[in-house]
Amino acid sequence: MSSDLTEAAPPFIGAARRFLPRRNVTRWIAAGLVGAVALGAWRYWAAQTPAAPTPGRGPAVAVAVAEITRGDFPVVFSGLGTVTASATSVVKAQVSGPLVEVRYKEGQIVKAGDILARIDPRPFDLAVAQAQAQLQKDEALLQNAERDLARYEVLRTKVKDSVSGQQLDTQRALIGQYRAAVEMDRAQVGQAKLNLSYADIAAPIDGRIGLRLVDPGNIVQTNDQNGIAVVTRLSPITVIFTLPEVRLQSVLKRFRSGEALAVVAYDHEHSQALAHGVLYAIDNQIDATSGTVKLRAEFSNEDEKLYPNQFVNAELTVETLLNVTLAPAPAIQRGAKGPFVYVLENDDKVAVKPVRIGPSDGERAVIEGGLTPGQRVVVEGVDKLRDGAKATLAAGPGAVKKSPPAEGRRPEKAPAP
């Protein structure tokens, strides 16, 4: 059987067998078969894989574009803020005693000096009467001592050696003691009257009073920490917000020049403007833990849309750049060589344009170089584009995007229903 296989084998195998060992011949045959299979598989995969698109060839990419415009751009810094009252006062009793009357309604507007509550005044009336009685007593003693001194002086003048000098000096000293006692009594009367006036608890400042903390019938003490109510001044009101320290110098430059920097307070969702105010003060130090600085803005708050401890988004307008080139923010792309945009040329091909970007507000960006007003830039469909690729405007009303308005940072959104 072996001889038959030898005779049926191809000539080159027979020749190889004459010069190579039998085991090596088998290895060569196996390697050849594996190479043939690999070559066939590679040719099949290459036939099934489409060729990479060549720029400027192939189907056009549907895109949406927007025009580069020129207009004014407000430079706005945003920060999370907390509403703080311009003045808050805890109404406390100045004297101790039973609370007999509460005259205010919870949540009402009060003026400084309005009587809010009343403590039983009878003990203080008695203290005033007692102090006045003591004053009258000491005044009578003073008057009697003064009359005695006058008699001593007359007698000493008419009758020699009838009154000694020591007796006159003692009488004058007694008058001085009575005068001091009278002054002390007058102070006691004033103190008693002051305590009597404290029986009527008055509002210390203008503002809105909060919920009642003590009901009539309770004994109030001067050392009560909570007091009987809290009065908060809501108009004007302030907002304390923070900005990164890298933005401090640009704000300080404008603030120290005397400019009134506008601040807008938005709600928590950043969808509705609640109040408009101005920057009031800047803190004197930077928080080392967060690298931020605190700023305070003041708002008139006549409609009371801002309440103390409310969280808001504050936007500070530092300056307004006039007549600058503006591009929609979605058109700005980032690459290894820096920012760039895809410009749609007149031949419906896109070209990559490097740009220099200035301030941005998330919707628009200031272009400091690389683009001119009137050019069209791609804002949708950029992920399928290459330099020189053919593009077509997408069908529908969103084919050409309108640039955001030049005046103002953004159109104010309607409040949520």
Each residue's pLDDT tens digit, 245-282: 999 998 999 999 888 999 999 998 888 999 999 999 99
pLDDT at res. 10? 52
The counts of H helices and E strands in the chain are 6, 21
One-character DSSP codes across 284-308: EEEETTTTEEEEEEEE--TT----T
Phi/psi-derived region of residue 223, left when phi > 0, alpha when psi is between -120 and 50, beta in every other case:
alpha
Q: What is the distance between the alpha carbons of residues 275 and 305, in angstroms, rounded to a whole number? A: 7
Residue 299 phi/psi, 5° resolution? -130, 145
Whole-model pTM: value is 0.65
pLDDT at res. 82? 95
pLDDT at res. 125? 96
pLDDT at res. 232? 95
**Structure-token match 């009336």, residue found:** 125
pLDDT at res. 416? 37
Q: What is the distance between the alpha carbons of residues 299 and 260, in angstroms, rounded to a whole number? A: 13
Q: Which two tokens stand for residue 222?
A: 């001067």
Q: Enumerate residue ranges in the chain where pLDDT < 70.
A: 1-32, 34, 37, 40-58, 395-417
pLDDT at res. 155? 84
pLDDT at res. 269? 87
pLDDT at res. 110? 95
Residues 6+ apart with CB under 8 A from 90: 226, 227, 229, 230
pLDDT at res. 5? 42
Q: What is the distance between the alpha carbons of residues 150 and 164, in angstroms, rounded to a whole number? A: 14
- Strand 115-119, strand 200-202: pairing: antiparallel
H/E segment holding residue 102? strand 97-102
pLDDT at res. 248? 92
Q: Using an 8 Å Cβ cutoff, are 388 and 350 in contact?
A: yes
pLDDT at res. 105? 93
